[in-house]
């Protein structure tokens, strides 16, 4: 059978390759330690280009009466799959050699999802509060390929259906659908950011914009001045987001309009002759990078992932630069020896032979990924004990009481059940850090005869009448606070607040500000805004509780580590390192605590609310905050304590339960670093 048909091929436009170069360089620079903060918009540039080129090809073939779905899909498979399979196989080999079992099992799941063309759905489902860190996901970037693949599967049917009634109807239909997708994306970017980022119906308008360009009347010719102006405006609309957007920009939504519109303007203004922008983009270096852009996109991310995975303490700038150079070399080789021969039909020219080979390779990779996932990451690859650092999930680890409270006005209980006439009651209010403390709180509740009501939800601060963009936008329009109502209805007189306070006051260490607190009076744009909201609501609540005889306690934040600890422990053990040498330095831990302490102290009205400091109980004899002791991990990830570590905080929490049980509370007792009074 002859090579794939080119009778409907388009006139080559070098400036589009230059646009690809701009897009991929932006993405690479973003992933390389955030050299440009908004480089992620390069993916959106790719989407518009793909929508334009794919629609142009289909429309040309439809007009010539030569369109074939089978031929179309064969061309797409030839374009995308061979290079992708090479990268997946390379990642699988590297993962087998380097990844600890837990991470290799999750990698296997991503391989299966990629083979089924749903990696965007997989990573969307993994984007919760406890997701694996992105630096452990070599195939994370394939989410965008999945969006395109889903577009290629569905879009030809739509175009076939409407184009038979004319180009105009096709243009109107796709414009309406794209507009609806844009509106949905704009809403979801603020209310469900993970879905807006990964799912196709929130992204399809970007490909649709390219399709609209392809369906516009081809007789429109812009005057030279207009062409030059539009081209420069288009370039500015792409460059501005690349250098000004950050991880805190609600995206895609309306924020994706500038780079997408800029791409469309450049394509439109260069349709008949190259303007200044087009000539710049058509320079040979830009064109070459554009030609290898797909392979470069495929290689650069897993190369960076495995670099950072191997260098546990973090890659240097020189190491990162060397890996990026290697990515360019691999991209050039892949483009020349894999992409081009397969795309042109030089390799496996027969349609069915090619498709059968790709299908077999895809099934093989899915099988390997499935085995890795089902076999828990193949722990037999390593010496015994390497996979034993991840603590077993505690039965209470998934308890999220706020969801139950919102649904039926009740809260789950731990400790001594309320049906057994406990000595007292205590309400635990907090986020996932509070959930992590449930094992020891359950033990203390049973020991002291206290019912502990659990008002928890991951990522939701225990601050009344507030909400955050990341995890609780559904609370923004709520009237009153159900937790406060529950406290008064149940006549609870002791409240314990536990949370990862820093993310609500300052954002995450990655400068993600989506956890900042807002209220009906103020939508927070900065840490200072959130701090004002925090103090306003916490102080007023403390005053109210004091007037009503309710004693509140708050535990300061536990130390966080640089990376998920179980994986670090396994990696360090494989390399013969002392894992505790990789812990966050004590000076750093204490500096962060000193930053956060004044806010919590002011919120708790100094001495009226009681502050519990976990740091002394988690500090070793050398003044450090270890990752592991006696073979037990202190953490389940980078900042949630393991059940083993929460037991260390038991003496700190005893006064809370003594008070709730009506026993005259003692002080928390000497911490491990305090001298024994008998020795004084």
Closest-CA residue to 20 (of 321, 228, 266): 266
Q: Residue 664: what pLDDT?
A: 77
Q: Is residue 3 part of a domain?
A: no
Contact 298, 46 (CB under 8 A): no
Structural domain boundaries enclosing 510: 401-560+589-634+641-662
Q: Residue 205: what pLDDT?
A: 97
Distance of alpha carbon 538 from the chain centroid: 30
Query: How far, CA to CA in Å, does 439 sit from each of 46, 397, 399, 422, 448?
Result: 48, 8, 11, 18, 15
352 and 421 within one domain: no
Query: Which secondary-structure segment (H or E) carries 455?
Result: strand 450-456
- The two beta strands, 413-415 and 632-633, are unpaired
pLDDT above 70 coverage of the chain, percent: 91
425 and 356 within one domain: no
Question: How far apart, in whole angstroms, are the C-alpha atoms of residue 218 and residue 617?
Answer: 72
Give pLDDT < 70 ranges for the chain.
1-9, 128-134, 313, 385, 387-388, 397, 470-479, 509-512, 606-609, 665-680
Question: How far apart, in whole angstroms, are the C-alpha atoms of residue 327 and residue 305?
Answer: 12
Q: Is residue 580 part of a domain?
A: no
Partner residues linked to 453 by β-bridges: 413, 427
Q: Is residue 8 part of a domain?
A: no
Q: Is residue 306 part of a domain?
A: yes
284 and 344 within one domain: yes
Q: Residue 1: what pLDDT?
A: 36
45 and 147 within one domain: yes
269 and 152 within one domain: yes
241 and 365 within one domain: yes
490 and 595 within one domain: yes
548 and 451 within one domain: yes
Closest-CA residue to 458 (of 426, 481, 433, 479): 433
Which structure tokens are listed for 527?
A: 């840490």
Name the domain count of the chain. Answer: 2
Q: Residue 2: what pLDDT?
A: 39
Q: Is residue 391 part of a domain?
A: no
38 and 162 within one domain: yes
Q: Residue 676: what pLDDT?
A: 41
- The two beta strands, 450-456 and 413-415, are antiparallel
Q: Residue 505: what pLDDT?
A: 93
Question: How far apart, in whole angstroms, are the C-alpha atoms of residue 46 and residue 151?
Answer: 13
Secondary structure string (H, E, C) spanning 514-575: CCCCECCCCCCCCHHHHHHHHHHHHHHHHHHHHHCCCEEEEECCCCCCCCCHHHHHHHHHHC
For residue 588, count CB atoms less than 10 angstroms from its CB and return exposed for 0-12, middle for 13-18, buried for 19 or more. Answer: middle
Q: Is residue 522 part of a domain?
A: yes
Q: Residue 198: what pLDDT?
A: 95
116 and 87 within one domain: yes
Q: Is residue 584 part of a domain?
A: no
Residue 485's CATH number: 3.40.50.1110
Question: How far apart, in whole angstroms, are the C-alpha atoms of residue 214 and residue 208?
Answer: 10
Q: Residue 384: what pLDDT?
A: 73
Q: Is residue 390 part of a domain?
A: no
Q: What is the pLDDT of residues 345-378, one digit of tens each?
A: 999 998 999 999 999 999 999 999 999 999 989 9
369 and 474 within one domain: no
345 and 430 within one domain: no
Question: How far apart, in whole angstroms, are the C-alpha atoms of residue 50 and residue 16?
Answer: 10
């Amino acid at each position: 059978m002859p090579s794939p048909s080119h009778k409907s091929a388009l006139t080559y436009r070098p400036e589009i390759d230059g646009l690809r170069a701009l897009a991929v360089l932006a993405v690479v620079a973003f992933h390389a330690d955030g050299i440009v903060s908004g480089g992620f918009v390069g993916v959106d540039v790719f989407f518009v280009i793909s929508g334009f080129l794919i629609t142009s090809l289909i429309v040309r073939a439809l007009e010539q009466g030569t369109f074939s779905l089978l031929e179309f899909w064969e061309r797409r498979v030839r374009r995308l799959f061979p290079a992708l399979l090479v990268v997946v196989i390379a990642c699988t080999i590297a993962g087998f050699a380097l990844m600890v079992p837990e991470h290799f099992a999750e990698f296997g799941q991503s391989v299966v999802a990629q083979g089924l063309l749903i990696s965007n759905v997989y990573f969307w489902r993994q984007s919760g509060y406890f997701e694996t860190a992105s630096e452990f996901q070599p195939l994370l970037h394939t989410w965008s390929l999945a969006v395109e693949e889903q577009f290629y599967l569905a879009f030809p049917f739509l175009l076939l259906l409407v184009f038979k009634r004319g180009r105009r109807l096709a243009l109107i239909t796709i414009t309406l659908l794209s507009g609806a997708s844009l509106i949905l994306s704009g809403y979801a970017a603020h209310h469900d950011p993970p879905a807006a980022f990964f799912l196709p119906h929130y992204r399809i308008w970007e490909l649709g914009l390219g399709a609209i360009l392809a369906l516009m009347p081809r007789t429109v010719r812009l005057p030279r001045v207009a062409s030059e102006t539009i081209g420069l405006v288009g370039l500015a609309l792409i460059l501005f987001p690349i250098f000004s957007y950050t991880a805190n920009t609600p995206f895609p939504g309306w924020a994706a309009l500038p780079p997408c519109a800029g791409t469309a303007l450049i394509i439109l203004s260069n349709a008949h002759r190259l303007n200044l922008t087009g000539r710049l983009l058509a320079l040979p270096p830009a064109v070459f990078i554009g030609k290898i852009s797909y392979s470069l996109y495929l290689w650069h991310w897993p190369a960076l992932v495995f670099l950072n995975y191997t260098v546990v303490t973090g890659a240097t700038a020189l190491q990162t630069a060397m890996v990026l150079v290697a990515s360019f070399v691999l991209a050039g080789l892949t483009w020349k020896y894999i992409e081009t021969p397969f795309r042109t039909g030089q390799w496996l020219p027969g349609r069915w032979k090619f498709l059968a080979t790709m299908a077999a390779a895809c099934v093989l990779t899915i099988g390997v990924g499935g085995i890795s996932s089902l076999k828990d990451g193949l722990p037999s690859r390593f010496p015994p004990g390497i996979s034993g650092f991840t603590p077993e999930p505690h039965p209470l680890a998934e308890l999220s009481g706020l969801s139950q409270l919102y649904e039926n006005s009740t809260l789950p209980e731990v400790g001594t059940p309320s049906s057994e006439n406990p000595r007292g009651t205590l309400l635990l209010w907090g986020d996932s850090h509070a959930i992590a403390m449930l094992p020891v709180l359950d033990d203390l509740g049973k020991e002291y005869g206290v019912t502990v009501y659990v008002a928890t939800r991951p990522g939701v601060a225990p601050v009344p009448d507030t909400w955050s963009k990341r995890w609780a936008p559904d609370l923004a329009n709520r009237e009153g606070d159900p937790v406060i109502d529950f406290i008064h209805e149940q006549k609870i007189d002791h409240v314990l607040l536990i949370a990862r306070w820093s993310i609500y006051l300052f954002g995450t260490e990655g400068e993600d500000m989506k956890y900042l607190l807002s209220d009906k009076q103020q939508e927070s744009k900065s840490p200072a805004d959130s701090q004002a909201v925090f103090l306003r609501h916490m102080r007023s609540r403390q005053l109210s509780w004091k007037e009503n005889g309710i004693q509140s306690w708050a535990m300061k934040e536990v130390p966080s580590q640089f990376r998920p600890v179980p994986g670090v422990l396994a990696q360090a053990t494989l390399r013969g390192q002392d894992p505790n040498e990789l812990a966050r330095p004590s000076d750093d831990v204490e500096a962060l605590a000193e930053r956060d302490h004044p806010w919590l102290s002011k919120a708790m009205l100094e001495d009226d609310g009681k502050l519990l400091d976990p740091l002394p109980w988690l500090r070793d004899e050398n003044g450090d905050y270890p990752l592991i002791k006696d073979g037990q991990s202190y953490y389940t990830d980078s900042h949630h304590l393991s059940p083993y570590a929460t037991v260390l905080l038991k003496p700190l929490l005893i006064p809370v339960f003594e008070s709730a049980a009506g026993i005259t509370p003692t002080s928390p007792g000497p911490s491990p670093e305090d001298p024994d009074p008998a020795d004084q």
